[in-house]
Amino acid sequence: MSERYNFLQFYRDARWMALKKTHPDLEMRLSDQVTMMPRPISAPGTPSVSGPTTPRESDSEEDSEQEEYEEQQWNEK
């Protein structure tokens, strides 16, 4: 596996060197693009408060609340 890794690393480095020779300003253009790239909408937000969060209710508690609500709605009809 190390031979393959070395070959892939060599190939990547060779491609990078070829790109740098044909496009001398490539690194500068890439770094400018990376800094100008907007944050994706799907990126999670930063937490406003660090520390432990409130534990989530278990499914059984949610089920019992749902059953109580349904029973109440059924009795009102």
Tokens, residue 20: 């740098």
**Taking a C-beta distance cutoff of 8 angstroms, is the pair 23, 15 a contact?**
no
1-27 tens-digit pLDDT: 567 768 889 999 999 999 989 988 888
pTM for this entry: 0.35
Q: DSSP string of 57-72?
A: PPHHHHHHHHHHHHHH
Helices (H) and strands (E) in the chain, counts: 3, 0
What is the tens place of the pLDDT at every residue in 27-38? Answer: 888 777 777 667
Q: Which of 40, 9, 35 is nearest to 27 (CA)?
A: 35
Task: Give the Cα separation of 23 and 61 in Å (integer).
Answer: 62
Segment 42-47 mean pLDDT: 76
